[in-house]
Structure 1
Amino acid sequence: MQGIRKTLDKSLNLDQLRSFALVIETGSFSATADRLGVSQPAVSLQIRQLERRLSVRLVERVGKRAQATPAGMELLRHAQGIETAVENAIDALADHASGVAGRVRLGTGATACLHFLPAVLRGLRERFPELGVVVSTGNTEDQARKVEENSLDLALVTLPAAGRSLTVMPVLDDEFVAIGRTDLEPLKARVTPADLGALPLVLFEPAANTRKLVDRWFAAEGLHPQPVMELGSVEAMKEMVAAGLGYAIVPGMSMVGRGAHPELKTSRLNPRMHRTLAVVIRRDKPVNKALRVVLDAIVAAGKKPGSR
């Protein structure tokens, strides 16, 4: 497949084309470099090489912002179609290969990575040993952006997920629970915002979608508690609660199966609070065999009895 890509790239370098489109989108060479994880001079060189190859000027500065020239605007109109056509050609040929092989880039949150995906990935490994699934974790906003940029093939994230070019497929609902040490002041079987608001709380960091859901749950009752800790890992939150440093609200999937903690007791929330986990993928993303089996496995796992 690399040979096919090189042949198609002979007259137009796709990396240069992607860099050009990103420069126009961000209006900045430095912002483009940050997005791509390269240096600013490397981005500038790619644009110069593309302009030299096409014999036209593509980018000009208007004030502090990089903008497309008329020729650049014309190229931009065709850029996405060019990239999609190349991907379609490669994936169409890949579908003729026997079996399922290749690499799928999957993004997700830390909790789903620990408590939902391991069984899915083990099943895929057993059925398709030539298939590689590369997993990375991050918050919903970052993962959705990477899917839009095509640096991830798909992502399993907590809704809401923004992106005009994305298709969103809900996979499962995950109910939140309150947790506390079993030997400290016990929580009721069902706890309200008022019950928890007066207690020392260990909550998710503010940027997380899960934290926003928790804040809205309290705010609906006119409460705005100040947590004693804000952490990015549900496992770290559980350990802090187990150490007697407070109480927490966590996704239910983190407290079942291997996630169960012998020193912690769970209570349901009243009113109920839940999050929806969904797969996001670009609308124009070619779905080859490898991507299809990963997508189907995630959706099927969300429908299994016992999935929260």
Structure 2
Amino acid sequence: MQGIRNTLSTFEKNLNLDQLATFGLVIETGSFSAAADRLGLSQPAVSLQVRQLERRLAVRLIERVGKRARATPAGAELLRHVPQIEAAVENAIDAVADHARGVTGRVRLGTGATACLYFLPAVLRQLREAFPALSVVVSTGNTDEYVRKVEDNSIDLALVTLPAAGRSLSVIPVCDDEFVAIGRADLAPLKARVTPADLATLPLVLFEPAANTRKLVDRWFAAEGLQPQPVMELGSVEAMKEMVAAGLGYGLVPGMSMAGRGAHPALKASRLAPRMHRTLAVVIRRDKPLNKALRTVLEAIVAAGKKPGRR
């Protein structure tokens, strides 16, 4: 056991990656001369690298069988670990590359107003702190509008409410956001769990008809054979909340708009039965080159959707 520890210690302290690559190439080509030709080195230089590696590991790695160089049992065992060693080195280089060179550039991101208010601020703050030279330009609109903009490459990616489809698009689900019903807490508060029938006869403040979120609401009612009769149709979830807080009706809004910093002191939220939810997803062109800046933003959005509290 002590001998194994000594060998591992020597390996960790003295392993030369060039020597390891040369050794692997000798075994792959079957000869020192072929490996030398491939590397653009002299045969003695290749032989020296292998001998130095063998001395460092205190074990013979190559033997000749006829005219072909083959790995000894120890050499075969080492070769088994070469892919993992190379991958670990590449991962380490990638991990520190951002700190060495920084992430720079501009990413154009389209999204809905609710995600812009309640999902993206923490993501954008994290990106700004980690990568000051990275610029994320955000604009808001509805899903159909931003799907078209992604397709024609006028923006780089979009965070939208599904469904979103297109032959040229890659759709990456980020998180589920459950809808809640809201009402003014001191005016005929809603039950803890409400149904379409409970809401159908009430004055409703809903999203405008073009929004995917409104289409989800209409389908929720239609499944029970009902059709909502809104007294207001608005494009802003904050405007909806303020109208409900003024006692002008009841609303159906994404849950993220009532959580954390979105909580409103005058409003009470109730869950829905059956459950209604929307899926937020990133939409990007399949052929879009993922440069460092774009990949960083995409990974940050997807990671934020996996945090506790997100479905």
TM more than 0.5? yes
Matches within 5 A, 1:37-116: 98-116=101-119
Query: Match for 1:274: what amino acid?
Result: H
* 1:226 CA drift (Å): 1.1
Q: Which residue of 1 aligns with 2:151?
A: 148
What is the Cα deviation at residue 186 of structure 1?
Answer: 1.3
| Aligned partner of residue 134 in structure 1, secondary structure | strand
Q: Please identify runs of 4+ aligned residues in structure 1 that moved more than 4 A.
A: none
Structure 2 counterpart SS, 1:144: helix
Count of aligned positions: 213
Name the CA distance, whole Å, in 1 between partners of 2:176 and 2:247. Answer: 29
Residue 257 of structure 2 is matched in structure 1 by: 254
Counterparts of 1:93-242 in structure 2, within 5 Å, are: 98-242=101-245
Aligned amino acid, residue 137 of structure 1: T
> Equivalents in 2 of 1:186, 1:209: separation in Å?
27
Instruction: Give the Cα separation in 2 of the matches to 1:225 and 1:169.
Output: 31
Identical-pair percentage: 85
**1:115 and 1:253 in contact (8 A); partners too:** yes
What's the TM-score once normalised by structure 2's chain length? Answer: 0.68
SS at match of 1:297: helix
Could you tell me which residue of structure 2 aligns to residue 292 of structure 1?
295
For 1:240 and 1:266, the matched residues in 2 are separated by 15
How far is the alpha carbon of 1:98 from its aligned partner?
2.4
Q: Distance in 2 between matches of 1:272 and 1:215?
A: 14
Shift of residue 99, structure 1, vs aligned partner: 1.8
Shift of 1:222: 0.5
1:68-117 Cα shifts (integer Å, max 9, x gaps): xxxxxxxxxxxxxxxxxxxxxxxxxxx9x922100000000000000000
* Contact persistence 1:141–1:162 (CA under 8 A): no
Q: TM-score, normalised by structure 1?
A: 0.68
1:113-147 deviations in Å (ceiling 9; x for gaps): 00000000000000000000000000000001000
* 2:266 is the alignment partner of 1:266: no
Structure 1: gaps of 5 or more residues: 1-94
**1:55 alignment counterpart:** none
Q: Which has the larger Rg? A: 2
CA RMSD of aligned residues (A): 1.1
Distance between the aligned counterparts of 1:305 and 1:253, measured in 2?
Answer: 13
| Partner SS state of residue 202, structure 1 | strand
